[in-house]
Amino acid sequence: MSVAALSAPKTHPVSTFLELTKLRISGASTFTAAAGYVAFRRGADAGLVTTLLGILLLAMGSSALNEVQEHRYDALMPRTANRPIPRGDLSPALGALIAAVLALAGFLVLLLAHNLASALLGALALAWYNGFYTPLKRISAFAVVPGSLIGALPPAIGWTAAGGSAADPSVLALAFVFFIWQVPHFWLLVGLHAEGYEGAGYPTLVGLLGRPRLSRLTFTWTCATAAACGLLPLFRVLGSWPAEIMLGLGALWLITGSLPLLRPAQDAPLYRRVFMNINLFALVLTAAVILDPFFTR
């Protein structure tokens, strides 16, 4: 049991539930799914609500299961020691039950309100995150590269829920941008919390390469994220000049804000600032795709 579990007062059950299911992170991945849905439909309709509901439930279930899987390691890291299970607010068994109910509900919403393809992609996202990426993090410092498929799947789920094919080059281009984005996003977290990860037994690129090399590698992947956005007009995910300008300016801002990673010395405030930048860029990217059909009307 962690120190947090011994000293922290019991929290309200609603707060515990929201922490267990990482609502903020789950909501962010759900928002990217809206881009896939709107991009295929070229607009929004009532089906967007059930799509987002199904994906949100699946994401919350996957997040809760992740906290069950990693609760022993979470208790060893300052960043995560105050999560609900290490804190003692609920047992791993109850956490697993909540995760299973949420994931099943999300799968059924996508299946019954939409189609089998979107439900299976949702199940794949959960299986990849909890069955592949989560254990791989204990083995390899590069786990996030294959693990970033998780970032690519929500837009594809939204696209297929709207009636599109998962093999359509347009959605593959959109998914690829989110795949690339996920890598520097996680490596910035590593730069911020490497000591905590290593203390809990996770291999990190800071330990493998050193922080300066990790910073340069992260900058390179950040530039690749910005460059990959050029695929969206090419594959007709974007077709309006306001959306293209919005995304282009966002990509330029992202690269400019990441340049300090090339300095000889880096510190926590720098990693935190660039981490916030790359998260805001994902918001700009998603908003550009969602707004594009409305710009063309």
For 104-143, what is each residue's pLDDT tens digit?
Answer: 999 999 999 999 999 999 999 999 999 999 999 999 999 9
What domain count does the chain have? 1
d(CA 32, CA 57): 15
pTM of the model: 0.91
pLDDT at residue number 33: 95
Residues with pLDDT less than 50, the chain: 1-8
pLDDT at residue number 251: 96
pLDDT at residue number 250: 96
In a domain, 5, yes or no: no
pLDDT at residue number 264: 81
In a domain, 3, yes or no: no
pLDDT at residue number 215: 93
Q: What is the CATH number of the domain that holds 120?
A: 1.10.357.140
CA trace torsion 280, 281, 286, 287 (10° rounding): 70
pLDDT at residue number 6: 46
Reading the block at residue 219, the tokens are: 């900058």
Q: Tell me, what amino acid is at 108?
A: L
Reading the block at residue 279, the tokens are: 């998260």
For residue 82, give its domain range: 11-295
Handedness of CA 229, 232, 237, 240 (dihedral sign): positive
In a domain, 211, yes or no: yes
